Amino acid sequence: MSGPTLAEAKAQARALRRALAGAGTAISHAQALEMVAAQHGARDWNTLHARLSVPEPALPWRLGQSVRGRYLGQAFAGQLTGLSQRGTLIAVTIRLDRPIDTVRFESFSNLRRRLHGVVGAEGVSPRRTSDGQPQLVLER
């Protein structure tokens, strides 16, 4: 989540109230909280407070971690070089230890050294190949 923590938002409200009081405009603490909420795109302080109180879900992997799995039916081993939460899904970038051929056709090949994909918390991509298999599966 981008933006302040709950403590930082409250500190912003206190600083705003002090700054306005120093400029001759007195506002209540509640008004300062509402102004901070508006600055962060929330409807009101209660909405911002609720948003900031929800902990971010912990990702099941970490940057630099070694991973194994299957991509388009090919086994791989590599290292996580990119990781970001996208709602309930996780975008991953994997630098492979050895390139893999992602084409099953014998007279053509496409070697990949890096993979980009999206998986759920269990490590399985919601996207499927034409035969119904997940495009990307990370072993746990």
What mean pLDDT, rounded, does the chain reach? 92
Reported as type and span, the H/E element at residue 62 is none
Under 8 Å between Cβ of 91 and 104? no
Give the Cα separation of 20 and 47 in Å (integer).
24
- What pLDDT is stored for residue 1 in this prediction? 44
Please report the pLDDT score of residue 14 as a whole number: 97
**pLDDT for residue 57 is more than 80:** no
Instruction: At 19, list the tokens.
Output: 């700054």
pTM of the model: 0.60
pLDDT digits (tens, 9 = 90+) for 92-136: 999 999 999 988 788 888 899 999 999 999 999 999 999 999 999
- The pLDDT of residue 76 is above 90: yes
Q: What angle do CA 126, 95, 98 make, to 5 degrees?
A: 105
Over its C-alpha atoms, the chain yields an Rg (Å, rounded) of: 23
The answer to whether residues 3 and 49 touch, using CB atoms and an 8 Å cutoff, is no
pLDDT, tens only, 13-33: 999 999 999 999 999 999 999
**pLDDT score at 109:** 86
Q: Is the pLDDT of residue 3 over 90?
A: no
Query: Is the CB of residue 12 less than 8 Å from the CB of residue 36?
Result: yes
